[in-house]
Structure 1
């Protein structure tokens, strides 16, 4: 199946003509592309004609996407239609005449087949909303929403001029509110703090009339600062029993589909709260915007499952020792949690930022929307087409599909007022979230020929995301600098206005790229991709160092062992989840395969003698791929059968520690025996009541 490209100069506002169409077609391998000037108006027929065919259609216009889509539906088009923006991304700009290579690259990527679909996560909401907050905010909104949603109210402060009238919706009161869950499955708990239970109260006003301090208003809550404990209200309430100053059972709970939190401070204080939770506080504009969203969240919904987790690669924990905790610490939605020796990601809480996959050193967590190989194919296609069309010193700009794309669009439209627009060599790459890419994809882009890789940060990223991206970029840049590639290849761009973005993009200085573009494809596993990347970058490197020092937090490094204190107990070998530390069945040796080490720190934390130290670095010689001995010792031989077991140092340490112990002092020779001979010796001395522990038990007692 081929692809037909529909390119338009947008009423001749872009430098696109027949000659440009020929160059684009040459780069795309399609032959000269016809260039329209009014594709959405006078030349609409050239768009409609291919829709009934079997070819895919790429329309180089997003301005009129709605029109083109509607026309395709009317024609019952069988063709797959994709849209790409070449106008604001470069066709409108101070150097638009040099932007043809970028346009070709964007068109080529738009023509790529859709990735394989990913699993989805489902939500089901019946529209049962809990409105939380003071009465002055919650009750007016509750009355407005009661006709559209199934409303309940939780008053955290009942004192106001509001009046509770008929029972059109349930009303509770309480404090110490706790909210957990997600759209369609929120669980809320609170404590009944006021003596009046609003669910039992009949609003008869008997307590209001009876209170001598006027401590009860028409929200039917008692102001305990005014109350003098006359208990006249209790008598007035009588058998209704809504007022109880001595209430012991104060815990309350409920399940809801949606939460509208009007408290001063959000009850869920997360940068990325769960789907279905809205906390506009006292801001009336935000309240109105959130109400509009609330009313649309009734029914069944789906979202992609953004991540894939392979627990066999996880280096989070072993034997109740925590090693790598990066994914848990970086998640701004509290979707990642500790679960035994591994982690659990709640797909309903996951918002698709991908930061956990970016910081994961082993590749146990990978991003799935898109998958790494799919995004890698986009990058490879972009950069190869750009180069084929004559482009040089390409700079990739990763940005979010929402705020980032909007900011780039605003920058492009500023050209009409004298702005420079997006530079010709800067190629935008849209992402679900800017935190979803890391060192493997950035360095792959450099290997494919990019002179710069920039990530656009607006005001939507959590602070921990920015910190994680900064750390990852420091590691990646250290590798490139260590290999002798000149310049700054990786950069975070912080901008919230078109002027800021324009200044940053035009200030990017091209860094040195490899002399040859890589041909490998990005793999599903991060470290496999990095193996390909590092091999290519080293082959083309201006310098050929044996090792590169890396900053803290790097995913490569070495392990050092203090031979004076290491007893070769092999605890570190049992703890290592990456098979970087190994023993030798034939000899007391601790061996290390640096290529496998992810610097999780489990060996360091597990070592009972604190004999292990981690050092981040990238070893580029074949030594990294070969097991090397970190420590070895002379084996101890059984004093009965002469079979080797343990080490001399380990046995000597045990003897020194147990010699003064009354339970062992009379049987120290058994510690010098192998397990078989120890049993034989005990059987020969049946009258002894003492049973000597095994070597493994002795290790634990140290």
Structure 2
């Protein structure tokens, strides 16, 4: 397969040898093409857009055109959004639609049932396996539902396989669409999931599941009894909201996984970035694209604070984001970054552009000390973001910002008088915000890694000892470093002298157990012994007894 193909147009300039130039489209499958009519795995409209609008000189344009092909190629090679297929039959239910449409579909070999909205008690399942509940005794299995747009029902809008007739120009357009998805419905896996750092999975009580809350479809559901998330990729609308607000980074994009994303960042080193939603049509968009500005086409909604900041620091300049919609996670992320950048640089980090695209492109500039070459795929999403923020903050203090509804930060307070350093809180924290420093016999906390899930507070064995406050992010060095919250000396075994636990822990257990042991001095003695000596003391007591 030919990889990089450029279909000749009026903006053509001499291009690198890696790009093959064709006079016209050919009936040959290629990997990446600049022309929508060419049969290709990837249509890259940003190539013509850049070539037509950029103010770069011809030599720089040639280099950057190759770079744009390479970016698309890299995303394709390292993407994990594999294609899946599902068989679909011609069983359709129409809701509150005219008889003429039913007859038209029947003539085209569809099995059609026409119902009124009030006749359908509920819809569940996925495309190809839908079920309509008509009554306690009647259920209808079907594949696709077409409804009148006046039927304002969540079970219609959230399920895959349910379509609003208003979205089709006429019945012929609907038929064309139906024939495109029958008999095989094709979809992709949009997101990946790491249960090891999920804030909901297998916990004793609910502390997150924000992804379920924000999902507009039924792609993510929760099993409250077992505390497991249930995923249905076929129901995913690819809005990206779940990824953008996932506090621990357990959800990631399969189209552009984190390791692939870091490589993409390297292509924009010392270039300004025009971030463009893939839903924006570029074919007829004409403007003045300033020198050293490159477009990056991105799927909507999924970028996290770490992703935005990585792009900013790889570029060294603020970003223009050309999009018509913002996910709730993206909105709060941009507010956070803009707040910080305005305090540090007196500039915005990210300009949201729609009608004022030209104006914002002129406002883009390289910012002193913003560039930072740092990509570490072994660190979590929050750890990466924390390291990047540390680099920007240095030793300064830029105030704070309260947490929003989705992007959350906070702090904990520990009563050192009652904390025994049992480390139950450390065991509860799966993002590394709470750690045990065995060298210092200390409990330490890094606020920048805390997702404020509250599981540590619930797991604390001592009453009124650990308190979590969802306060927000502080833009000072201490917020991004581990701080000692509690500390104690180790207790030495009264038999062998080996240190085996903190003094507070030993004293706490002794206080609880002494009354139960009454006057049995051997049992009381074991409370102050290590595990080995504890057994020896009891064996000796049995021999003497």
Deviation at 1:473, TM superposition (A): 1.5
- What residue number does 1:221 align with? none
Q: Name the CA shift for 1:263/1:657 in 2 (closer, same or farther; >3 Å).
A: farther
Greater shift, 519-528 or 363-372, is seen at 519-528
- What residue number does 2:367 align with? 513
Q: Name the CA shift for 1:600/1:533 in 2 (closer, same or farther; >3 Å).
A: same
Deviation at 1:297, TM superposition (A): 2.2
Deviation at 1:564, TM superposition (A): 4.6
Deviation at 1:110, TM superposition (A): 1.5
Whether 1:129 and 2:129 are equivalent positions in the alignment is no
Greater shift, 505-514 or 573-582, is seen at 505-514
Once the two structures are superposed, the pairs formed by residues 579-590 of structure 1 within 5 Å of their partners are 579-583=432-436, 589-590=442-443
TM-score (norm 2): 0.75
- What residue number does 1:313 align with? 197
- What residue number does 1:91 align with? 52
Render the CA deviation track for 1:31-74: whole Å, top value 9, x for unaligned: 9x9xxxxxxxxxxx97259999xxx9976x53xx42xx37xx9x
Once the two structures are superposed, the pairs formed by residues 355-504 of structure 1 within 5 Å of their partners are 355-384=241-270, 387=271, 394-399=272-277, 401-402=278-279, 404=280, 406=281, 408-412=282-286, 421-424=287-290, 427-431=294-298, 433-458=299-324, 461=325, 466-481=327-342, 484-493=344-353, 501-504=354-357
Tell me if the contact between 2:32 and 2:43 (Cα under 8 Å) persists in the aligned partners. Answer: yes
* Structure 1 unmatched ranges of 5 or more: 11-15, 34-44, 74-79, 159-173, 192-249, 388-393, 413-420, 494-500, 686-702
RMSD: 4.9
Q: Distance in 2 between matches of 1:109 and 1:176?
A: 51
Q: Name the CA shift for 1:435/1:678 in 2 (closer, same or farther; >3 Å).
A: same
Tell me if the contact between 1:651 and 1:672 (Cα under 8 Å) persists in the aligned partners. Answer: no
Q: Name the CA shift for 1:632/1:441 in 2 (closer, same or farther; >3 Å).
A: closer
Greater shift, 312-321 or 298-307, is seen at 312-321
Tell me if the contact between 2:491 and 2:499 (Cα under 8 Å) persists in the aligned partners. Answer: yes
Q: Distance in 2 between matches of 1:383 and 1:586?
A: 41
Tell me if the contact between 2:120 and 2:132 (Cα under 8 Å) persists in the aligned partners. Answer: no
Deviation at 1:188, TM superposition (A): 2.6
Q: Distance in 2 between matches of 1:639 and 1:190?
A: 74
Secondary structure, in 3 states, of the residue corresponding to 1:296?
Answer: helix
Q: Name the CA shift for 1:320/1:287 in 2 (closer, same or farther; >3 Å).
A: farther
TM-score (norm 1): 0.60
Secondary structure, in 3 states, of the residue corresponding to 1:329?
Answer: helix
1:186 pairs with one of 113, 130, 140: 130
- What residue number does 1:148 align with? 108
Deviation at 1:304, TM superposition (A): 2.3
1:632 pairs with one of 472, 487, 494: 487
Whether 1:329 and 2:205 are equivalent positions in the alignment is no
1:602 pairs with one of 455, 466, 474: 455
Deviation at 1:190, TM superposition (A): 2.5
Tell me if the contact between 1:89 and 1:422 (Cα under 8 Å) persists in the aligned partners. Answer: no
Tell me if the contact between 2:428 and 2:455 (Cα under 8 Å) persists in the aligned partners. Answer: yes
Deviation at 1:649, TM superposition (A): 6.6
Q: Name the CA shift for 1:644/1:47 in 2 (closer, same or farther; >3 Å).
A: closer
Tell me if the contact between 2:197 and 2:250 (Cα under 8 Å) persists in the aligned partners. Answer: yes
1:572 pairs with one of 407, 425, 428: 425
Render the CA deviation track for 1:295-342: whole Å, top value 9, x for unaligned: 432112332212121212222356323333332222222312335455
Q: Distance in 2 between matches of 1:622 and 1:87?
A: 47
- What residue number does 2:140 align with? 254
Q: Distance in 1 between matches of 2:208 and 2:31?
A: 46
Secondary structure, in 3 states, of the residue corresponding to 2:108?
Answer: coil
Render the CA deviation track for 1:633-691: whole Å, top value 9, x for unaligned: 577899999998887777888999999xxx9697999899639979999x999xxxxxx
- What residue number does 1:415 align with? none
Secondary structure, in 3 states, of the residue corresponding to 2:217?
Answer: coil
Deviation at 1:479, TM superposition (A): 4.6
Secondary structure, in 3 states, of the residue corresponding to 1:436?
Answer: coil
Q: Distance in 2 between matches of 1:397 and 1:51?
A: 31
Q: Distance in 1 between matches of 2:42 and 2:203?
A: 53
Secondary structure, in 3 states, of the residue corresponding to 1:471?
Answer: helix
Deviation at 1:376, TM superposition (A): 3.9
Tell me if the contact between 1:129 and 1:260 (Cα under 8 Å) persists in the aligned partners. Answer: no
Secondary structure, in 3 states, of the residue corresponding to 1:430?
Answer: strand
- What residue number does 1:278 align with? 163
Q: Distance in 2 between matches of 1:616 and 1:666?
A: 50
- What residue number does 2:121 align with? 176
Deviation at 1:255, TM superposition (A): 2.2
* Structure 2 unmatched ranges of 5 or more: none
